[in-house]
Amino acid sequence: MKGFNPKFENFPDYIIGITKEIWEDRGVATLHEYYAPDIVVRSPASIVLGNQNVIGATLATLAEFPDRELLGEDVIWSGTPEEGLLSSHRILTTATHLGDGVYGKATGKKLAYRVIADCHAKNNAIDDEWLIRDQGAIVRQMGRDPVEYARDLIKKEGGPELCVKPFSPSIDQIGPYTGRGNDNEWGARHADILTRIMNADITVIKAEYDRAIQSEVTGGITGYGWDPVERFWMGLRASFPSAKFQIEHQIGREDPYLSPRSAIRWGLTGKHDGWGSFGKPTGANVHIMGASHVEFGDIKPGEIKLRREWTLFDETAVWKQILLQTGDL
């Protein structure tokens, strides 16, 4: 870990350790050490430039969810300390909505939802980030509908002209990390599966997924078996049948005591021109920033299958794009 604080044993230890230090140990000021001054943080909801804005957003979140815990489920990573490291950190967050904030008046609701954060780090600091939070799961657990939440957010932010615009490639800022991951076989296998699904080859699910597949997907939905996986991916692709699918970043890994696994960050860009998970087609131009983690294994010797999947995107950011273009406010 050349260039990193020696208290961290390896890169996953660094990522999990600083996450706890910043959020749970209230070391918000350590962001001056662990985040570069001019960091670019992209999320489906916006793009944030500069560490000072990250600090402000962190304080606001802690004020609204003071008991927030971030449980690191996995860190799938690539790179070297000398050239830079990229982590895809999957987090299960628990929190109670105890303060007023962006989600409205405090409700006292207890939440559990996932986040996938892709972070580039070098010399003990993160300088580039892609952050996907399961906003659909958050607002549903508060008793709200993602469409209604997106509509209300536009109003709170000053209306369609003044509101924060969701992320799209057209507003992206180039940061220091321009890598695409690694060429590990498990990442390649995962990429092939995703690409086939997005090309409407739904047969790949029964062919490549284990019959007992456990899926954890957008909206906080847990599924068992092939049917939930088929419904999730078909519902998404059916809403945007002509949209362009692109793999933005791909990592495969094999580590001791862990299943072979993969992390892929992907994009879907195009028109809302089909009936699917997002209802009646509107013709709105939409960009979806998505992330997927998977694990492979063989219960039956010689038949290696995809056994667990986690896929996230922000439904509220998709609805915000649709509402802003249709004027259905």
Residue 77's pLDDT is 98
Q: Which helix (H) or strand (E) holds 320?
A: helix 315-326
Tell how strand 221-224 and strand 209-217 pair up. antiparallel
Tell how strand 125-133 and strand 244-253 pair up. unpaired
Q: How confident is the model at residue 6 (pLDDT cuts 50, 70, 90)?
A: very high
Average pLDDT over residues 130-143: 97
What are 207-264's pLDDT values in tens digits? 999 999 999 999 999 999 999 999 999 999 999 999 999 999 999 999 999 999 999 9
Question: Looking up tokens 């299960």, which residue turns up?
Answer: 92
First to last CA, the chain: 50
Any idea how long the chain is?
329
What are 26-41's pLDDT values in tens digits? 999 999 999 999 999 9
Residue 268's pLDDT is 98
Residue 224 makes CB contacts below 8 A (sequence gap 6+) with 212, 213, 214, 215
Helix (H, G, I), strand (E, B) or coil at 136: helix
Mean pLDDT of the chain: 97
Among the listed ranges 20-24, 81-85, 217-221, 299-303, which one has the minimum average pLDDT value?
A: 299-303
**Residue 322 to residues 22, 37, 248, 313, 328, Cα–Cα distance (Å):** 35, 33, 23, 15, 8
How far apart CA 111 and CA 210 sit, in angstroms, is 30
What tokens were used for 237?
């692709």
Average pLDDT over residues 7-30: 96
Residue 26's pLDDT is 94
Instruction: Report the 10 Å Cβ neighbour count for 109.
Output: 15
Question: Quick one: how many helices (H) and strands (E) in the chain?
Answer: 9, 12
- Which residue(s) pair with 49 in the sheet? 40
What are 83-129's pLDDT values in tens digits? 999 999 999 999 999 999 999 999 999 999 999 999 999 999 999 99
- Contact between 120 and 127 under an 8 Å Cβ cutoff? The reply is yes
What are 156-208's pLDDT values in tens digits? 999 999 999 999 999 999 999 999 999 999 999 999 999 999 999 999 999 99
Average pLDDT over residues 262-271: 98
| Percentage of residues in the chain having pLDDT higher than 90 | 99
Phi-psi region of 15 (alpha: psi -120 to 50; beta: other; left: phi over 0): alpha
Minimal CA–CA distance to 90: which of 308, 326, 325?
308
Residue 114's pLDDT is 98
Residue 60's pLDDT is 96
